[in-house]
Structure 1
């Protein structure tokens, strides 16, 4: 028992650390990626611009020191040269717009990152969790009726989850709450319901059979791992 409790604590700590890493690095990664893509776009646009002519006498002064250096270098190579050109550069407004857009991507990513509890639900949907799967074989036309009859019982079987983690900007802690929803999958004339918690199989079969008017033998219950995002056709239980 102590070993099981210790492993659960370790998993909780690992999940909190994973969430903090994702919450910190994902916005920064989005910012860097947006900046890189916009920089490539600016360089591609600048490459299409015509070269800028430099019509400067040898001793003339230009408002751009870089232009004077370019012309002087060309003049040393070709003393009779009286015209030169340089590659076009991007306007400062382009770089400013790029910085603003990258910052907006950063802010949007910070807002879009879910809280800790919802993140935990998403990870569970991806890697899977121990659950109870109910399966019944009914005609396709009757599946919606059966599901509606089961709704009162299934709606109470979502698994609450919570995560407490520190908030750097305030120095305090935040506790987020979410619910792992009941999942439904329709496979032809087979209807499956996944519950993210262990339940009493016999009591559940009897209750579902009573609600839908089905024989208890028609309802099968098994305990197995469920990964809704890796297995096809799973959908959260609709709210009626």
Structure 2
């Protein structure tokens, strides 16, 4: 997962505080094999700068950008279920990147590309304005202690950057299992210019079918934990 960084010229300066912590994860053989074999085919580099994703994927297609895909299970499920769409996933933790790449190869998917770095740097430097159909942010770190709230990725500058990359009519879809963070997301997004809340109630939407249910989420449901989904559409 990613947080704020310096924006392109003309955009409001974003904080440099990171919403993720780099962990030293142990790589399995399968994850390492996914990195070794899959990265040359499906990996993209921040240093390459602005990309033409029609050229990268070899076609024009609806395009989804996922921030912090974890171990990649949801990304794989979505990409396999929608071969007519393209998916760009970003994750900082190598075991998750290796796991996703391993799955992409095992399922012979061609509609997934991967960055392994700060997602907001990718948005800022590599993604053209008004080019994305969806941006996904599923279960980001809630940073639940008050003194850590500044680390939350969902901030006004985040909303502004994402809006600039979405097409008009494109959607930012967020999900969290922390009610206080859901309330924070709702407050930030309701105040963000250029968006419309897709919830008829003006709050949260029902869990959409296109968002896969994770093992973590199913375990939480058994324990009585809630999940809150929010969808905000770019309107200008």
TM-score norm. by structure 1 comes to 0.20
Larger Rg: 1
